[in-house]
């Protein structure tokens, strides 16, 4: 009776009925799809050796992307709003009249409003406004408020995989008819107290903790205003008491099976996994055993840093970049890891 509980496969249609209509990457290597795509393709073609830190995201202003009625007091909220604006524009949803009650938002975050909470708890008298901005769902709430996104709404906070889970849950909501369009992905800012702990010996030793957002606009195929970037062709999740190459391999095999493909139809694998995990050897072993050679891998965190739940959202956007020039029928696997769990999303090229 417990078979396959930790090897979840989609029961419904996995043929790509949910498509990626818009992209909102906010990353140190590029803001907006064109710049981010260039950085990703450059990194992939040079095996990650050429891309470097380019943008100081602290200089980005939300006001440059959307007219705000409120002040973004939290850094994660600021980049979430910017990423959502980019994704909405890329999908053409802001220029076409869309029913706001049918547009949902599912955002993943690992660190949420950590910096704001830290500041808040240092003050002697609590401010009600700052208190509300310490909530981990602040970025999602503010983004919904700014863009009047009144449909299905959730904030996932399980850690680094929250961005990837937000995409999977968005697919559930679309397939269940709870929304026609959904903004989803991950946003995190860890440049404050967490980022300062990255010295040797600290909790976050050897991690490059930065900030970023990877936000996507998803909708059912056939409803898109513009040519979609990719289709969500499948996904999987595998876990065990600890993370092993067997778990990693099982997640990838399960994902390929859910998409109905084999290793020959995989043109690239985006490893959206953080450097906190001692997994490179494990990943290498599992991928080689599956017949996916190293030239097809892109280790995203090695050049954009650990951006919490944004990493997996940016991983899916990177996957869309790598699909841009491949023929129909090819796929990209986006792999995320956190603790004892490995999640995979399969992206399919759109003809």
Partner 1 sequence: MSTDIVVTGLGQRSSLGQNVSQLWESLLAARSGFKPLDVVGRFGRGLGAPLLQQASSPSERIRCALHSSVCEAIGDSGLVSTATTPALECPAVIGTNFGDSETYLEHGDYLQSARDVLAEVGHCGELWAVSTACASGVGALGIAFDLIRCDGADVVLACAYDVITTYNYGGLASLKALSPEVIRPFDKARNGTLLGEGAAALILERREHAEGRGATIYGEILGYGIANDGYHFTAPEPSGLGMRLAMTQALVESGLSATDIGHVNAHGTGTPHNDRIESSSIRAVFGQAAIGLAVTSIKSAIGHTMGAAGALELIATILSVRHGVVPPTLNHEESDPELGPGLDFVFDSPRSVHKSAAMSNSYGLWGCNSSVVVRRGDES
Site for partner 1 in 164-183 (CB under 8 A): 165, 169, 171-173, 175-176, 178
Instruction: Report the half-sphere exposure of 2 (CA within 13 A, side-chain side).
Output: 1
Candidate residues 131, 205, 291, 324; the one interacting with partner 1 per rule CB under 8 A = 131
Contact 275, 206 (CB under 8 A): yes
Residue 134 token pair: 């310490």
Q: Does position 112 bind partner 1 by CB under 8 A? A: yes
Q: How far apart are CA 96 and CA 196, in angstroms?
A: 43
Min CB(131)–partner 1 separation in Å: 3
Return the number of the residue (21 or 138) whose C-beta is nearest partner 1: 138
Pairing of strands 103-108, 181-189: parallel
Question: Cα(285)–Cα(306) distance, rounded to whole angstroms?
Answer: 23
Work out how close the CB of 337 gets to partner 1 at its nearest, in angstroms, rounded to a whole number: 12
Site stretch for partner 1 (CB under 8 A), options 108-116, 225-233, 267-275, 290-298: 108-116
Note whether 154 binds partner 1 by CB under 8 A: yes
Q: Site mask, partner 1, residues 189-218, x = CB under 8 A?
A: -x--xx--------xx--------------
- Identity of the residue, 107 or 298, whose beta carbon is nearer to partner 1 in the bound complex: 107
Among residues 15, 58, 71, 126, the one that binds partner 1 under rule CB under 8 A: 126
Tokens of 288: 């080689």
The span from the CA of 276 to the CA of 157, in Å, is: 18
Name residues contacting partner 1, limited to 303-342 (CB under 8 A): 339-341
Of the ranges 110-118, 223-231, 259-267, 320-328, which one interacts with partner 1 (CB under 8 A)?
A: 110-118
**DSSP letter string over 63-86?**
GGTS--SS---SHHHHHHHHHHHH
Position among 62, 72, 85, 162 found at the interface with partner 1 (CB under 8 A):
162
Cα–Cα distance between 91 and 113 in angstroms, integer? 28
């Amino acid at each position: 009776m417990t078979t396959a509980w930790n090897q979840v496969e989609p029961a419904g249609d996995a043929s790509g009925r949910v498509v990626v209509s818009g992209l909102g990457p906010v990353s140190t290597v590029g803001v907006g799809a064109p710049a981010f795509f260039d950085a990703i393709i450059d990194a992939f073609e040079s095996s990650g050796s050429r891309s470097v830190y380019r943008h100081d995201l602290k200089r980005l202003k939300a006001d440059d992307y959307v007219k705000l009625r409120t002040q973004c007091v939290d850094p994660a909220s600021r980049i979430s709003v910017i990423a959502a604006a980019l994704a909405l524009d890329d999908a053409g949803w802001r220029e076409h009249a869309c029913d706001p009650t049918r547009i949902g938002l599912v955002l993943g975050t690992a660190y949420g409003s950590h910096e704001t909470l830290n500041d808040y708890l240092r003050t002697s008298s609590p401010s009600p406004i700052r208190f509300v901005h310490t909530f981990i769902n602040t970025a999602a709430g503010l983004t919904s408020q700014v863009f009047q996104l009144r449909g299905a709404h959730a904030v996932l906070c399980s850690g680094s995989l929250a961005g990837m889970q937000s995409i999977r849950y968005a697919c559930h909501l679309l397939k269940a008819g709870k929304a026609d369009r959904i903004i989803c992905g991950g946003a995190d800012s860890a440049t404050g107290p967490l980022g300062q702990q990255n010295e040797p010996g600290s909790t976050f030793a050897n991690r490059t903790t930065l900030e970023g957002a990877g936000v996507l606009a998803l909708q059912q195929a056939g409803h898109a205003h513009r040519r979609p970037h990719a289709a969500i062709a499948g996904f999987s999740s595998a876990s065990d008491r600890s993370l092993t190459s067997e778990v990693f391999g099982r997640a990838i095999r399960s994902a390929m099976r859910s998409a109905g493909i084999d290793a020959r139809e995989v043109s690239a694998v985006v490893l959206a996994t953080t450097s906190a995990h001692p997994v490179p050897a494990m990943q290498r072993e599992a991928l080689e055993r599956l017949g996916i050679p190293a030239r097809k891998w892109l280790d995203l965190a090695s050049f954009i840093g650990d951006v919490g739940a944004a990493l997996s959202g940016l991983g899916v956007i990177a996957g869309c970049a790598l699909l841009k020039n491949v023929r129909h029928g090819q796929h990209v696997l986006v792999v995320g890891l956190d603790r004892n769990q490995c999640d995979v999303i399969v992206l399919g090229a759109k003809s």
